[in-house]
Amino acid sequence: MITGSCLCGEVKYEISGKVGDIVHCHCQTCRKAHGAAFSSVAAVNDHEFHLLGNVTLGCFESSKGKKRYFCVNCGTQIYAKREGTEHIVLRLGSLDDDPQSVEKSHIWLSQKASWYSLRSDVPEHLEFE
Ligand SMILES: [Zn+2]
Ligand SMILES: [Zn+2]
C-alpha cells in the first residue's frame, strides 16, 4: 500500500495498485494551482485510490471537464480528474511513500516558467542554505 496526505493531515489516502509513470507538467495552469515551477503527476486507477475517513475535498474546474481536488483546510493539491476517464491524476508531492514508478517526461515546456531551467549549474543543497 502506498500512502499520502495533505500538509495539515486532514486528507489521507491509500493506493492499492500501481502509480503510473511520472510526468512533470510545466503548463501555466499547473504552475498557478501548485504555486510552483511545475507539477509532478502520475495516473492511478480510480478503484485503487482510497481516501481515508469522511473528508470532502475542495474542487476547482480549471478547464472544461477537468477538476482539480485539494484539501480545503491547507490547500494541498491531491489529484485531478478528467470527465469520462477511469483514473485520477495524482499530485505526487502529496505522497508519503515512494511511488516506485519512473520519470517519463517533462511536458508543456512551451509554457515553462522563464526563471526555471531543467538543466543548470544551480548549486544543490540537501537542506535550506
Ligand atoms: Zn490539509
Ligand atoms: Zn499542467
- Ligand positioned closest to the Cα atom of 62: 2
User: Is residue 46 included in any domain, yes or no?
Assistant: yes
User: Is residue 117 included in any domain, yes or no?
Assistant: no
What's the total number of domains in the chain? 1
CA of 129 to the centre of ligand 2 (A): 29
For residue 67, what pLDDT is reported? 98
- Ligand positioned closest to the Cα atom of 24: 2
For residue 28, what pLDDT is reported? 97
User: Is residue 16 included in any domain, yes or no?
Assistant: yes
User: Is residue 119 included in any domain, yes or no?
Assistant: no
- The pLDDT of residue 21 is above 90: yes
CA of 25 to the centre of ligand 2 (A): 4
- Ligand positioned closest to the Cα atom of 11: 1
- Ligand positioned closest to the Cα atom of 70: 1
- Ligand positioned closest to the Cα atom of 71: 1
- The pLDDT of residue 10 is above 90: yes
Domain residue limits at 94: 2-111
> What are the pLDDT digits (tens) for 23-48?
999 999 999 999 999 999 999 999 99
CA of 77 to the centre of ligand 1 (A): 9
The mean predicted confidence, pLDDT, of the chain is: 96
User: Is residue 116 included in any domain, yes or no?
Assistant: no
For residue 62, what pLDDT is reported? 95
User: Is residue 87 included in any domain, yes or no?
Assistant: yes
Taking the CA atoms of residue 114, residue 115, residue 119 and residue 124 in that order, the dihedral angle to the nearest 10 degrees is -170
User: Is residue 15 included in any domain, yes or no?
Assistant: yes
Which segment of 40-44, 73-77, 78-82, 120-124 scores lowest on mean pLDDT?
Answer: 120-124
